Amino acid sequence: MPRIKTRDGIELYTKDWGQGRPVILLHGWPLTADTFDDLSMAIADAGMRAIAYDRRGFGRSEQTFNGYDYDTMADDLADVIASTGANDATILGFSMGGGEVARYMSRHGGANLRSAVLVSSVVPYMLQTEDNPNGTPQSTFDEMTEGMVEDRAHFFAGFFKDFYGVGMFDKAVSSEVLDWSVRQAMMAGLKPTLACAKAFATTDFRPDLAAFNVPTLIIHGTDDKTVPIDAAGRAAAAGINQSTLIEYEGAPHGLFATHRQRFIDDVLAFLRR
């Protein structure tokens, strides 16, 4: 697989499948581009090109000590777009990746894009504040940090049960999917894991919403315990022009796995417009 070098010399592991109009896929925390394999195959089989890369510090990409702010990560996205020659592209961000979509819009003017997709995204603002009462309390993020510092592997074993809604409905995902997700998470360095958790928890994307200048699909589960829909999907839809919100009733955060076929069908229908 190719490795793309960013403007500051960091190598990003990239999967580039298929030919045709490009779709760039931005994975969630603390996972890798592998979470998009099912969607990437469907995109390639539909006559388009799926480009998915491991975020810096995660998966098989280079692990730096710095660069885990959204400005830098949006620049990484711009470098991937330039290196792959992805024109007239769609960018899709899952969870943390939604923030890179928003920051690319404001920092790079949405260059070379025709559309965008936000899936279970942290946009526009996760942190609970006086002017964002539906957000997540700082204490929750503090507990997450403490858990990761104490025993990261144990923390993720529990984290992914909420992520996939295990216990919310029968057979949310297999135990093997949970194990696979933990393995992906443990590929990341401790520094990027902690730094990116801070970034997605505290970055306010509300000022970025006005920069969305392309049709945008928003997909979010109503029972998302990781990124609750009121402060995220619904708020994003209210603030982004040309946006369409699809709510998955009862779906958890990791709906790309729990609602795989519906998710693929909805994304392909949007891409074919």
- Please identify every residue annotated as catalytic: 95, 224, 253
Q: What interhelical angle do 260-271 and 37-45 show, nearest 10?
A: 40
Strand partners, 4: 12
- Kindly provide the residue ranges of all beta strands, DSSP E only, lying in the chain, ordered along the sequence: 3-5, 11-18, 22-26, 49-53, 89-94, 113-119, 216-221, 243-248
CA dihedral 43→98→79→71, nearest 10 degrees, is 180
Q: Are 185 and 156 in contact (CB under 8 A)?
A: yes
CA dist., res. 88 & res. 15, Å (int): 19
DSSP codes, 164-195: TTBTTBTTSS-HHHHHHHHHHHHHS-HHHHHH
Respond yes or no on whether the N-terminal peptide bond of residue 133 is cis (omega within 30° of 0). Answer: no
Task: Report d(CA 257, CA 264) in Å as an integer.
Answer: 10
Q: What are phi and psi of 63, to 5 degrees?
A: -100, 105
| Token pair in block for residue 60 | 């098989």
Other Cβ atoms within 10 Å of 164 Cβ, number: 23
| C-alpha pair distances (Å), 105 with each of 50, 148, 200, 210, 249 | 20, 31, 17, 9, 29
Provide the β-strand partners of residue 23.
50, 90
